[in-house]
Structure 1
C-alpha cells in the first residue's frame, strides 16, 4: 500500500527547496492577521490573506473561462510545480497560494468539468489515503476558481472549526442510522449542513448519490446541484460534511463603495474560516455580516430536515 503521507511530506520538502514562490507564500502564512468572531455556541475565524485575491475575485462565467488557459492543466502549470501521482487519474500538488499550513490541490489528469457525480468515491479514497488532511470539494458555482477542470483540495486537520464543532451535541445531532452509516444534522449553527459518518465507503456513496439526485431536482438549470463538501477519515471512519447552497456569491460581493465586502464563500469559509483578501474587509466585517452571508448562500437548517427526510 502506498504511503501518501510520506510522499506528500517529501513533496513539501522538495517544493519548498526548489520553488521560491511557494516557499515565500507559506512563510507569509505565519504572519497573516486573524480575528475571531463569537456567536452563540460557536465561533468563526476571519483571516486576512491577500494571496487569495485571485481565487476570491475569479471570474467564473463561461466566457471568462473559455478566454483563459486552464491553470490546472499540466501544460499550463508553473515549471517548478511538481506532484505526486495518485493512481493514473490524479496528481497531488501543493497549493502555492495557501490557506492552511499544509494545503494541497488534487487535480484530474484529464481536462473535464468540475462534477462530484461520479467522483465522490475518489474523494473518500483520498480522505483515507491522506488521514492528516481534510478533503474538500467546491462545486462549479460554489467557490471553485477552475470550474472547467475536476479537482479537490485538502488542508491540514485541526484548522477548521467545523471539525471540533461536529463533536458538540448542542450543534450536531444524530438523526438516523442504517447499518454502519449515520446521518447527522446541525442546529443553532446558522447554516444547513448534513453530515454522514460511516465505515463502509460504498454505503456512504449510495446515500450521497440519493441525496445528490434529490437535491438536483430543486436546481434543474444548474450544471450540478450547488454543493460544498468536506471529508476526512480516521481509523477507517469517514466523516463527510455536505453543505447545499442556494447562490454562488452574496449581495455584499457585488455592492459598490464602502458597502462592498469581497468575500466569495467556499468550503473553508462555511467550515468556519472566512477568508478576506482585502484588509479593509478584514477590519470591518461583523457578526451581522457573516450571518447575512450564511443566510444568503446556504440552505437553512429546516430545509435540510425536509431534504433529508427518509434518506437513511
Structure 2
C-alpha cells in the first residue's frame, strides 16, 4: 500500500468522522517534552484522549463484560476499511500521532503474535513509510481478546536508536528477520505461552527489514496508581504517553527510569576509559552543556548532543600514516597529570566506543555482516582487556640481554586508562570518522554480544590481512596458547595449511600466492575495509621492500638504538604458524643480536613498521630484498578476508566461526 494511498485513507476517514478529525487536529497542540533515561533522550507526550487505552481494564471479567470494539459489527459505520488479506486496516480513533492505524484481524481471536510473525513482516513491507508494531497481552494491548497490530509513520518511531533497557535488534532480509524473530520468541516463551513482548518492524528498503523486540517483565509500573502511565509499544520505542497534565508534569528523568525499570529488563551497559592523547598542555573545546567536578579535571555532558574536541591528536603513532588531526568525542572528558604531561581521557559507554572503533578501523561502507562481526570482536576485545587488566599482576613482556632482546606490545602497560585510542589497542577516533546508519545497525543488532570460549571472554585480536594463514597468539604476545586462535588457512574449502614454522615451507608459501579470502584485491572490497589513508598502501597480501646495506644499517641503528655496524645478514630463527618470524638474528660487523617478537622485528626493520614479519630475505647486489606476506600480526580476524566473506554471502556468525574456532557468541547485557 503506497504512502499516498494510506494518506488518502486517513484523509477520507477524517472527513467522514468528525470526532477523529478533531482528535487528530489536537495533536498539533499536545504538550511534549524531552527527558533523559541513563543519558538517552526520551520524549513525553500529554494526550488526554489516550486515557481510553491507558486506563483500559484487561482482566478476563472486564473483557467478557464489554463488546469487542475491534469486531466489525461493533465498530461505527463511519469507520472506513481497507481490506488487507484476513485483516482490515483502520484509522485509529484515538491517535497518538497523525496517520495512526490499527490493523485488526477479520476474526475474533486472542491477541497473539504466535503464528503471525509473517503477517507482521508482510505488513511492514506493504505499508510504505510506516512502522508496524505489536502490543502483547499485558504489554499495552487494550484489546487482548482480538488480534491486531498498529502502525504509525516511521518518522514518529525510529528503531535504530539506543534504549535504556534490554532489547533485541535485527536488520536483514525479510526471511532472515522472520527466522530470527521466531527463534527469539520461542526462546523467550515459558511452557509454550506467548512471551511478554512489544515488537516493531519497518521496511528499510525493498530487501531489508528492521525489527526490535522489547521483552517485558510487567504490564504496568509501580507508579500506575498515582501516575497513569501504562507502557505499550509506543512508550518503549521512544514516546511515553501521559493522559493528564499532572501526570505529564510528574514524569521526569528519574520517574521515566523507574517506569522502565519496573516494566522492562535492565541492560547493564558498561563503560570504558580511553586514553586519547598526552601533551604538556591539552587544548580542548566543549560543545553544548557540560558540568565540571570540584577540581575542574572531569567534564560530564548534560545533553545527549554535547561533545568535546581535542586539538592535534596524533594517529598512527610510528606507522607510515602517522599524522595529527582534531578529533571530537561523546562522553566525559577527564584531564589527568602524569609526570610533566597531561593526559586527556574519554570515559564513554562501550557501545558508543564501538561505533567509533568500527568506523575508525575500517570504512563505514563495509557490508553489514562484516560490521556485525567487527562489532562482536571489538566488544569482546575491550571487555576482555578491562577484565584482564583488573586481574593482571607482575606481567613481564621484555627480555633484554646483550645477546637477545624480546619484546611484545600488549596492553597491560596502560596504567591510567583501560585502552588507548590508537593502533596499539583499537583505533578510536570519536565522532570524527563519519558513522553511517549501517554501522549503527551493526552495533544495535549485536548489542551486548561477545565471543566466549567456555567461561572465558575471547581475546579477539584482528589485523588488516593475515596473508593467507592464521597466526597463533603465543608467537606474537605472551607465551599462552588460546584454543580458539589456531593455525588454519584463510579459505573456505578447508585446504590443509603447510607447517609454516618450517623454514622451507614458509619460504615456498611466502614466495607463492596461495588462494585465500584475503588474496582478493578488488578495489570495491578494499574500500569496505580501508580508510582513505590506509588505501595509500596497496601491497598487503604479498609485498617487497628493498634496502641497500647502508640504508638498512642506519634504520636498524635508529630504530633499535643499537649500533650493529654494517649489517651483513638477517637470519630467521623461529617462525609462527603463519610464517611470521618471532626470533630474528641480525648479523653486523660490530654486533650480532637476536630480536623478537613480531612487532619489534617490524619496528627495527623500517622507519615506520614493516607490514608484517612474515618475510623471506634475498641478498641483492647492494643489499637486501624482503619478500613479505600480510599486513599486521595475523592473529584472529583478518579484516580483508572477512570483507570478502561478507561479499560472498557469509553471515557474521559464519565469519566469526571461521576465524575463532569453537568460540560461542553470547549476549552478556
Q: Same fold (TM over 0.5)?
A: yes
In 2: Cα distance, 1:129 partner to 1:209 partner: 20
Residues 146-195 of structure 1, C-alpha deviations (whole Å, 9 max, x = no match): 000000000111113x4352xxxxx4xxxxxxxxxxxxxxxxx3211100
C-alpha contact 2:139 2:219 (8 A) present in aligned 1: yes
Map of 2:611 onto structure 1: none
1:130-169 to structure 2, matched below 5 A, reads 130-160=127-157, 162-163=158-159, 165=161
CA contact (8 A) 1:91 1:107 kept: yes
The RMSD of aligned alpha carbons is: 2.0
Deviations 1:183-214 (A, max 9, x none): xxxxxx32111001111x22222221121111
Q: Is the 8 A contact 2:217 2:262 kept in 1?
A: yes
| TM-score between both structures, scaled by the size of structure 2 | 0.40
Q: Secondary structure at the match of 1:301?
A: coil
The 3-state SS of whatever aligns with 2:88 is strand
Structure 1: stretches of 5+ with no match in the other structure:
166-170, 172-188, 255-259
Structure 2: tracts of 5 or more residues without a match: 270-446, 450-663
Instruction: Kindly indicate whether the alpha-carbon contact (under 8 Å) linking 2:47 and 2:244 is maintained by their aligned counterparts in 1.
Output: yes
Please state if 1:225 is matched with 2:221: no
1:198 to 172, 176, 187: 172
- Which has the greater radius of gyration? 2
Deviations 1:205-251 (A, max 9, x none): 2221121111113xx4x952100001100212100000001111111
Report the Cα offset of residue 42 of structure 1: 2.4
Query: Contact 2:201 / 2:210 at 8 angstroms: preserved in 1?
Result: yes
- What residue in structure 2 maps to residue 282 of structure 1? 248
Q: Say yes or no: does 1:213 pair with 2:186.
A: yes
Which residue in the other structure is 2:239 paired with? 273
Q: Kindly indicate whether residue 82 of structure 2 is the aligned counterpart of residue 108 of structure 1.
A: no
Out of 227, 242, 263, the position equivalent to 1:261 is 227
Does the CA-based 8 Å contact 2:159-2:211 persist in structure 1? no
Q: 2:234·2:240 contact (CA, 8 Å) conserved in 1? A: yes
How far apart are residue 72 of structure 1 and its match?
Answer: 0.1
Q: Could you list the per-position Cα deviations for residues 126-145 of structure 1 after superposition, in whole angstroms to 9, with x for gaps in the alignment?
A: 01111211110000110000
Alpha-carbon distance in 2 for matches of 1:311, 1:110: 40
Match of 2:19 in 1: 21
Matched, 1:51 2:25: no
Q: Do the aligned partners of 1:228 and 1:242 also contact (CA within 8 Å) in 2?
A: yes
* Deviant stretches of 4+, over 6 Å: none
Instruction: State whether residues 216 and 263 of structure 2, in contact with CA within 8 Å, keep that contact through their aligned partners in structure 1.
Output: yes
Q: Is the Cα–Cα contact under 8 Å of residues 133 and 156 in structure 1 kept in the other structure?
A: yes
Q: Return the TM-score normalized by structure 1.
A: 0.83
What residue is the counterpart of 1:251 in the other structure?
222
Residue in 2 that maps onto 1:73: 71
Instruction: Assess if the C-alpha contact under 8 Å between 1:8 and 1:84 holds in 2.
Output: no
8 Å CA contact retained: 2:159, 2:210? no
Helix, strand or coil for the counterpart of 2:155? coil
Partner of 2:210: 239
Equivalent pair of 1:227/1:242 in contact (CA under 8 Å): yes
Aligned to 2:443: none
- What SS does structure 2 have at the residue aligned with 1:71? coil
Where 1:253 maps in the other structure, the secondary structure is helix
1:240-292 CA-partner distances (Å, limit 9, x unpaired): 000001111111013xxxxx110000111111100000110101211111101
Work out the CA distance in 2 between the residues paired with 1:252 and 1:230.
26
Change (3 A) 1:136 1:206: same
- Deviation of the 1:7 alpha carbon: 2.8
Q: Distance in 2 between matches of 1:106 and 1:310?
A: 37
Deviations 1:30-85 (A, max 9, x none): 11011111345421111100000010000000111011000000000011101100
Instruction: Report how many residues are paired.
Output: 275
SS in structure 1 at match of 2:8: helix
Higher relative contact order (CA 8 A, sep 6+): 1
Q: What is the Cα deviation at residue 5 of structure 1? A: 2.8
